Amino acid sequence: MLPNTGKLAGCTVFITGASRGIGKAIALKAAKDGANIVIAAKTAQAHPKLPGTIYTAAEEIKAAGGKALPCIVDVRDEEQISSAVEKAVEKFGGIDILVNNASAISLTNTLETPTKKVDLMMNVNTRGTYLTSKACIPYLKKSKVAHILNLSPPLNLNPLWFKQHCAIHTAAMDMLGGSGVESQCRKVDIMADAAYCIFKKPKSFTGNFIIDENILKEEGIKNFDVYAITPGHPLLPDFFLDEQPAMVTKKADSYGAVPELKEEKTQPPPKARSGAVEETFRIVKDSLSDDIVKATQAVYQFELSGEDGGTWFLDLKSKGGNVGYGEPSDQADVVMSMSTDDFVKMFSGKLKPTMAFMSGKLKIKGNMALAIKLEKLMNQMNSKL
């Protein structure tokens, strides 16, 4: 881990979306130096599914050694932003660093994405970043530190990452990873340490695109296992990073994906063994229960190519559940298209849906949230398949 130097003592850091996750991790890192943290986030009352509020974050920041100012801020609301900035300046005397961390995503394809959700993403990710920056810049100009840090995926237009899907789908790595995917990921601490490296640099350090691991290596960090959720466990490949394209391809292959760096003829996938799909569905059917149906409430349709393929369905709406060959009697909530070989691998745990989806092996139409529920069911089936 990167040690604190105390350089941010007395500095005021304005962080959007700082009640949890990466935003809070950056706040706590700066707080250890004795920084003043403005927690600009929406969550004032405990959320049933998401941890933390602006007030619980404030208590953690104080315990870490910093000062905290929790402010209810929806970055779509210009008045709330202006009010929070005014309160920050009144309480701490100015603003030295702005971290635009708040964001919104929708895990749906174009045709399934309501205009309301598109507006939400544009208003939070683009307009919100602009409004918060605009409000803080007059005070940042007066600071000797003066940094604006915008958090986002790396900006990379290599066709490798866009061949099968739009960039918004990269969030599926978290949502479709399912149980156990955390062991292949890093802690938010790596982002906090990388942000801290940037905060320490002079204000002339501007207009840069930074990768967390790269800047930490420049700081002399060599042991990145300390950032791993499960030290020693292989990590999922980083999407949108292709500094070493051959290595990216090799890593992705090891997880069952086949990304291409240029248009080439692909070899046909190996044929599935005879009856493998039917046997998989038989095991799935034997594992169904009223509890699973009640918890899922969705109908899935599978369009499988290759031997033993065709159209199959998994009905988790009807009492007791059902599976079979052909289209379901009710309209499917989710349609998944893939090869029979990949289908069997996914249900047996040999191919992560994340990697299949990101590489284009798996295509999903319909309700992405219900697709996630099926992924969890797959994990339960792994021991039986």
φ and ψ of 364, to 5 deg: -125, 130
Q: What contacts 24+ positions apart, CB below 8 Å, involve 79-86? A: 81/40, 81/128, 81/131, 81/132, 81/135, 82/135, 84/14, 84/38, 84/40, 85/14, 85/135, 85/136, 85/139
Asked if 327 and 179 sit in the same domain, the reply is no
Q: Kindly list the distances between the CA atom of residue 210 and the CA atoms of 17, 107, 125, 193, 255, in Å, as whole numbers in the listed order.
A: 20, 26, 19, 12, 26
The answer to whether residues 233 and 314 belong to one domain is: no
Q: Is the residue at 198 inside a domain?
A: yes
Q: Are residues 375 and 240 in the same domain?
A: no
Predicted TM-score (pTM) of this structure: 0.65
Q: 3-state class of 310 per DSSP?
A: strand
Same domain, 72 and 149: yes
Task: Flag whether 283 is in a domain.
Answer: yes
Q: Do 141 and 239 lie in a common domain? A: yes
As given in the structure block, the two tokens for residue 75 are: 């970055």
| Sheet arrangement for strand 334-339 | 322-325, 310-316, 298-305, 334-339, 363-366
40: which residues sit within 8 A by CB, 6+ positions away? 14, 15, 16, 17, 18, 71, 73, 75, 81, 84, 102, 132
For residue 142, report the phi and psi dihedrals to the nearest 5 degrees: -90, -10
Separation in Å, CA 258 to CA 67, 202, 213, 246: 48, 42, 25, 12
Say which amino acid occupies 48.
Answer: P
Q: In what order do the strands lie in the sheet with 12-16?
A: 67-72, 36-41, 12-16, 97-100, 147-150
| C-beta neighbour count of 84 within 10 angstroms | 26
Q: Are strands 310-316 and 322-325 parallel, antiparallel or unpaired?
A: antiparallel
Could you tell me the two tokens for 175? Answer: 């949502």
345/202 same-domain check? no
Strand partners, 97: 13, 147
CA angle 110, 236, 344 (to 5 degrees): 70
- Regarding whether 186 and 86 lie in a shared domain, the answer is yes
Domain around 212: 12-253
- Tell me the C-alpha distance between 132 and 102, whole Å: 11
Q: What is the DSSP string of 120-180?
A: HHIIIIIIIHHHHHHHHHHHHTT-SS-EEEE--S-----GGGTSSS-GGGGGHHHHTT-TT
Domains identified in the chain, total number = 2
Of the residues 253, 284, 312, the one at which a domain ends: 253
- Give the tens place of pLDDT for each residue, 315-371: 999 988 999 999 999 999 999 999 999 998 888 888 877 778 777 788 888 887 788
CATH number at 196 reads: 3.40.50.720
Residue whose pair of structure tokens reads 């099926």 in the numeric block: 374
98, 132 contact by CB (below 8 A): yes
pLDDT in 10s for each residue of the chain, 385 residues: 899 999 999 999 999 999 999 999 999 999 999 999 999 999 999 888 788 999 999 999 999 999 999 999 999 999 999 999 999 999 999 999 999 999 988 767 788 789 999 999 999 999 999 999 999 999 999 999 999 999 987 766 565 555 544 462 233 344 444 445 567 778 889 999 999 999 999 999 988 888 898 999 999 999 999 998 888 877 765 656 654 444 444 444 444 444 444 444 444 443 433 488 988 898 888 888 898 898 889 999 999 998 878 999 999 999 889 999 999 999 999 999 999 999 988 888 888 777 787 777 888 888 877 887 787 777 666 655 5
**CA–CA gap between residue 237 and residue 372 (Å, rounded):** 20
CB-facing half-sphere around the CA of 207: CA atoms within 13 A:
1
For residue 18, tell me if it sits in a domain: yes
- Residue 253 tokens read as 């292959």
Rounded distance between C-alpha atoms, residue 214 and residue 274, angstroms: 48
Looking at the structure, tell me whether residues 118 and 221 fall in a common domain.
Answer: yes
60 assigned to some structural domain? yes
Residues 71 and 208 in one domain: yes
Same domain, 249 and 281: no
DSSP state at residue 312: E
The set of long-range contacts for 341-346, using a CB threshold of 8 Å and a minimum separation of 24, is 341/269, 341/270, 341/271, 341/272, 341/276, 341/306, 342/256, 342/269, 343/272, 343/277, 343/280, 343/302, 343/304, 344/272, 344/276, 344/277, 344/280, 344/385, 345/256, 346/378
Amino acid at 116: K
